[in-house]
């Protein structure tokens, strides 16, 4: 009997190993732990966000290469076009062989799945069940799943607290270990406060690179916890200290926008190399964007979000 069980186990293991050659599995062949290329990727593709690069790498390395005591929970805060989605995608592309196409990467958009206007008691209860089931299914299928919740400001208040038991310091919740899972919560919330603080530094003649994470910690926490228009308002995730870190995305200056324009020109094959980039066109495209504050126009209102559309529109005219 013991021999038969051993043979059966060996057959199952062999079949699983064979099956995972061409089919994505939750193992080291499909999910990388080597993040050595990510810092260079972030620094070469994400502009003006030194706080993001440094903080993100520190927490990712500690989580993936160690024995985490809880799930990684990072909240990204900043105005539109500062790179929150882009950074999330770069992380997914680095860790998962299939990148954003991985069945272990889950992108949740509350505005689509949990409409804010429907947040009465009955509907909210149904939403909680729906979100809870999504999390359970994702991590049961792969303990190293990446769950990205976008546009947190559109999530009904109270709904996000469903995550509390899965982000807390538990070995298992109902038989499932969530400690190796990763959660990214993306929000425009606190973006205005981050922009104001960044401009204060600029106005005082302080270099952007001298800005430190501690300069924003209280600002982000207060703006998030007490702003009723966002999904983290009065959230237990914050009051219980379950967010691993809140990362501010600074507003982008004109020079950062120009870097995005150059990348877009190459990506859309208007030029082949950096040397071929027509700087007069870069300037022309940059001038098409809106900037704030009105008197100084230091920061791009929509960051790099509209760059690709602008590049194609202007370049196809010539």
For residue range 6-48, list pLDDT tens digits in order: 554 545 454 556 689 889 999 999 999 999 999 999 999 999 9
Structure confidence at residue 116 (pLDDT): 63
C-alpha distances (whole Å) from 4 to each of 7, 10, 11, 42 are 5, 10, 10, 51
Q: Kindly report which listed range (113-117, 169-173, 309-313) carries the lowest average pLDDT score.
A: 113-117
Question: In the prediction, which pLDDT does 115 show?
Answer: 76
Neighbours of 196 (CB within 10 A): 12
Query: How many other C-beta atoms lie within 10 A of the C-beta of residue 296?
Result: 11
pLDDT of residue 12: 46
- Strand spans (E) along the chain: 72-77, 105-108, 146-149, 182-187, 245-248, 291-292, 299-300
pLDDT attached to residue 295: 95
Tokens of 171: 């070995």
d(CA 56, CA 221): 18
Given pLDDT bands bounded at 50, 70 and 90, which one contains residue 66?
Answer: confident
Q: CA distances (Å), 204 to each of 129, 161, 252, 256, 287, in order?
A: 49, 39, 17, 20, 25
Backbone phi, psi, residue 209, to 5°:
-70, -15
Residue 104 has pLDDT above 80, yes or no: yes
| Cβ neighbours, 10 Å, residue 54 | 15
How many CB atoms within 10 Å of residue 29? 12
The topology under which CATH files domain 38-248 is Rossmann fold (3.40.50)
Average pLDDT over residues 248-253: 98
DSSP secondary structure code for residue 46 in this structure:
S
């Amino acid at each position: 009997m013991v021999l038969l069980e051993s043979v059966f186990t060996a057959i199952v293991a062999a079949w699983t190993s064979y099956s995972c050659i061409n089919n994505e599995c939750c193992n080291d062949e499909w999910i990388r732990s080597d993040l050595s290329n990510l810092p260079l990727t972030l620094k070469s593709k994400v502009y003006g966000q030194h706080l993001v690069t440094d903080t993100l790498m520190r927490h990712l390395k500690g989580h993936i290469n160690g024995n985490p005591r809880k799930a990684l929970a990072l909240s990204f805060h900043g105005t539109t076009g500062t790179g929150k989605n882009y950074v999330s995608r770069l992380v997914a592309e680095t860790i998962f062989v299939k990148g954003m196409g991985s069945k272990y990467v889950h992108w949740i958009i509350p505005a689509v799945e949990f409409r804010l206007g429907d947040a009465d008691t009955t509907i909210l209860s149904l939403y909680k069940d729906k979100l809870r089931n999504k999390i359970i299914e994702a991590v049961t299928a792969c303990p190293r799943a990446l769950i990205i919740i976008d546009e947190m400001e559109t999530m009904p208040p109270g709904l996000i607290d469903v995550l509390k038991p899965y982000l807390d310091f538990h070995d298992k919740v109902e038989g499932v270990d969530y400690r190796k899972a990763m959660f990214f919560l993306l929000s425009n919330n606190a973006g205005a406060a981050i922009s104001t603080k960044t401009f204060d530094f600029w106005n005082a003649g302080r270099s952007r690179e001298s800005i430190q994470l501690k300069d924003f910690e209280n600002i982000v926490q207060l703006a998030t916890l007490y702003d009723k228009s966002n999904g983290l308002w009065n959230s237990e995730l914050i009051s219980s200290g379950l967010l691993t870190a809140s990362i501010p995305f600074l507003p982008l200056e004109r020079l950062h926008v120009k870097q995005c324009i150059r990348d877009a020109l190459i990506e859309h094959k208007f030029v082949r190399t950096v040397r071929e980039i027509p700087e007069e066109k870069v300037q022309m495209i940059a001038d098409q964007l809106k900037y704030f504050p009105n008197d100084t126009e230091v920061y791009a209102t929509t960051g790099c979000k509209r760059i690709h559309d602008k590049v194609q529109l202007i370049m196809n005219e010539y």
